Amino acid sequence: AQTVTQSQPEMSVQEAETVTLSCTYDTSESDYYLFWYKQPPSRQMILVIRQEAYKQQNATENRFSVNFQKAAKSFSLKISDSQLGDAAMYFCAYSLYSSASKIIFGSGTRLSIRP
Amino acid sequence: GAGVSQTPSNKVTEKGKYVELRCDPISGHTALYWYRQSLGQGPEFLIYFQGTGAADDSGLPNDRFFAVRPEGSVSTLKIQRTERGDSAVYLCASSSKYPTSGGYNEQFFGPGTRLTVL
């Protein structure tokens, strides 16, 4: 069975600084997606970034980038130039490489931004 | 509407009662997913519809939970004989049959229904 583990329940960062959120996962599959989702107090899950397992290049979306280590089954999220609007719950997630597949989420990391 | 909508936003019920939670997916999306998010946890998969049929219901916790999507659009999650442990946020997501960016069928989430069982 696939599992996703986030070992940091809470993180805090100074505004404009950089923070890294950690995630490990377990799977026996070779083709899959990994994601980071943001969930603000409004409860709506927002996709931040996606990584295909077959791609060696780390995904980047503006201030958000990942460090994908397939052999180590590690998938961390780096947020550069942190902004107050980045404060939220962040979930690491996994799904099979399929046109339609359930998403398996980690337990989340609450990120707070210090002004 | 532009996004996935869920009603009601909040639902408070008493133990043993029956509840229905509604999800309106993005127009034209054929796939629809239900997830349950308990306090302090990540969402957990419940059931997935492709069109009108449940393609995967492996996440439903027991036979008190049931979901339908009779016309392939709106879906209703039904919970019988509610228990206090059913208290959670119930999230719905939908995706298109056609891949979007990078060949991926992104799941778009609604704001959820917070269910409280007293």
Task: Please give the Cα distance from A21 to A7 (Å, whole number).
Answer: 9
CB contact under 8 A, B48 and A100: yes
Task: Please give the Cα distance from A101 to A24 (Å, whole number).
Answer: 20
Write the pLDDT tens digit of every residue in A60-99: 999 999 999 999 999 999 999 999 999 999 999 999 887 6
Mean pLDDT of A6-31: 96
Q: In the prediction, which pLDDT does A42 show?
A: 87
Q: In the prediction, which pLDDT does A97 show?
A: 82
Mean pLDDT of B7-36: 97
Which residue on chain A is closest to B6 by alpha carbon?
A: A44
**Which of B42, B45, B111 is nearest residue A42 as measured by Cβ atoms?**
B111
Q: In the prediction, which pLDDT does B1 show?
A: 54
Task: Please give the Cα distance from A106 to A24 (Å, whole number).
Answer: 9
- DSSP annotation of B85 reads G
Q: What percent of chain A has pLDDT over 90?
A: 87
Q: In the prediction, which pLDDT does B2 show?
A: 82
Write the pLDDT tens digit of every residue in B50-91: 999 999 999 999 999 999 999 999 999 999 999 999 999 999
Mapped onto helix, strand or coil, the DSSP state of residue B7 is strand
| CB-based contact, A51 to chain B, within 8 Å | no
pLDDT band for position B97 (cuts 50, 70, 90): confident
| CB-based contact, A53 to chain B, within 8 Å | no
CB contact under 8 A, A107 and B107: no
How many inter-chain contacts (A to B, CB under 8 Å) are there?
A: 55
Which residues are registered as beta bridge partners of A103? none
Which residue on chain A is closest to B33 by alpha carbon?
A: A102
Q: In the prediction, which pLDDT does A1 show?
A: 82
From chain B, pick out residues whose CB is under 8 angstroms from the CB of A97. none
B58 vs B103: which has the higher pLDDT: B58
CB contact under 8 A, B105 and A99: yes
Q: In sequence order, which ranges of B19-58 are alpha helices (DSSP H)? A: none
The answer, yes or no, to whether residue B102 has pLDDT greater than 80, is: no
Write the pLDDT tens digit of every residue in B26-48: 999 999 999 999 999 999 999 99
